[in-house]
Amino acid sequence: MVMIAYYLITAFLLALLVWNFVREKSRRGDLVLYLLVILPLLLRLLRWK
């Protein structure tokens, strides 16, 4: 149950970050920071082993 909740939270945060990444127009530093945070969340959600 806790694990399912954590996956839902991960998916929610990932969606927010991807949305922000897409909307960002000019600040390249922010784009890099978004990608830095997106990557581990994405890997967790994909469950690559």
Q: How far is the CB of 17 from another protein (least distance, A)?
A: 12
15 binds another protein (CB under 8 A): no
Classified as helix, coil or strand, 34 is helix
Residue number, 11 or 43, with CB nearest to another protein: 43
> If you count them, how many residues does the chain have?
49
Q: Are 15 and 49 in contact, with CB atoms under 8 Å apart?
A: no
Residue ranges that bind another protein, judged by CB under 8 A: 2-3, 6, 21-22, 25-26, 28, 31-32, 35-36, 38-39, 43-44, 47-49
